[in-house]
Structure 1
């Protein structure tokens, strides 16, 4: 009983010590350091590169242009590695440590630079809001108990291997896994403001999700999905649009006018 009591107290102390706040003020459980998350991101990106061919040329230059305009608005500094992958799925991702991946299938749905910026801004917002840390921390806390919470001090040994198993390494490219509806909605808001500050038209985010809806093969009911429905996303974006438009107009007035040429 004493051992269990000490373990419970230890778990509580770890949890309290690891509480943080997201950009919207929401409380988060974040057990891992930025160095650990960067290591996970690097490993995940390397696994993705092994699975899919990398696309260069004008397509890569176009995506690089949009991504660079957005990352230039971040205070974190440091270069982001951006790559385009040959894959028909309309998807993109950003990883801790400064990694961005865009599938070629997304370029069939995001039909201009502003719509692509809406996706990239959303994915970078996940990193800014520490969502990967939050998700992995929640899984560690709820699925594996105190032993893995204690392993948060490092990724070496059996505890670290168990954590990497939670991340799905090899199966879902590490921390590339669905975020919760709450995290997705938060990334929509943060990403909308981020793209607007970079000089991209935030109104195109609504057109993007209308394109997504038109190109989808049907969605499960929202209560069965980790993502908000397309209609919910569009409604949430429209609620934030006045603030985002003000940021966009300020960016344009200050000379933030990206001109990224989509390949013909």
Structure 2
């Protein structure tokens, strides 16, 4: 038990060991990209091998083109804001995969998949840019690594609590019931929602720097809500509600345009 407690304290002491370049705040992240990225790349390749990758079509080329523009915008932002070489270990790849799912995702290190099912909701290249910016933002802000770190601490807390109550079965049962709900609804879900909100705002900034109208990010979520419904109550979800996202993105669109103008971008594609 003493050894376990020492490990727990050690982890707690190092949880704020990386800085989010977009916010300047310390983040919950003790994952090393040197080991995380290669693992992600292998998983990505395995996924592509097991699914139908669309190549050579106008839609597939559009995904790659938009991805490159958002990637270039990110590089411009990092180089201009004092982070040269920040993306040197990223290995960008943009693939369209056949699936009816309304989804896209980006693995740590810049490996991105768009499902064909989300393209009708995107409607335009600017809509694709909104999704692409959001997914790339997750990778740039190390959200995957932060979720892994949070999950590790959640498990450590569970083990420590069980060890502390192991001699009292009633307390042990009560702890496990309370900890499961409390750590999920009170910590992990809000943590995930904060990542989604952050990725929305960062992604909107990047799409504007890439020359796309940032208001299209809000419009995308209007269409998404009509297509996919409102979803579960926000407090029980890993994502903010569509209405919350739409409001945030509408309010932030002028800020994203102002940021883009710093880089000489004055025209925004819709």
> Which category of TM-score, normalised to the shorter sequence, fits these structures?
0.7 to 0.9
For the 8 Å contact 2:91–2:109, the answer to whether it is kept is no
2: CA distance, partners of 1:128 / 1:10: 29
For the 8 Å contact 1:37–1:96, the answer to whether it is kept is yes
Say whether residues 1:200 and 2:212 are aligned partners: yes
| Corresponding residue number in structure 2 for 1:56 | 55
| Corresponding residue number in structure 1 for 2:127 | 115
For the 8 Å contact 1:81–1:99, the answer to whether it is kept is yes
SS at match of 2:95: strand
2: CA distance, partners of 1:61 / 1:189: 26
Pick one of 147, 151, 154 that aligns with 1:139.
Answer: 151
Paired residue total: 225
Structure 1 segments of 4+ aligned residues over 6 angstroms from their partners: 255-259
For the 8 Å contact 2:11–2:153, the answer to whether it is kept is no
When the two chains are superposed, the root-mean-square deviation of aligned CA atoms in Å is 2.6
Say whether residues 1:71 and 2:71 are aligned partners: yes
1:202 and 1:49, CA in 2 relative to 1: closer, same or farther beyond 3 A?
A: same
| Corresponding residue number in structure 1 for 2:175 | none
Structure having the larger proportion of residues in helix: 2
Q: Alpha-carbon deviations, 1:100-148, whole Å to 9, x = none?
A: 110111111001111110100000100111110010111112115799x
Cα distance, 1:55 vs structure 2: 0.3
Structure 1 residues 245-260: aligned runs within 5 Å: 245-251=257-263, 253-254=264-265
Pick one of 8, 22, 36 that aligns with 1:11.
Answer: 8
Rg larger in structure: 2
| Corresponding residue number in structure 2 for 1:233 | 245
Structure 1: which 5+ runs fail to align?
Answer: 148-178, 260-264
2: CA distance, partners of 1:181 / 1:136: 15
SS at match of 1:102: strand
Structure 2: which 5+ runs fail to align?
Answer: 76-86, 160-190
Structure 1 length as normaliser, TM-score? 0.77
| Corresponding residue number in structure 1 for 2:137 | 125
2: CA distance, partners of 1:238 / 1:112: 18
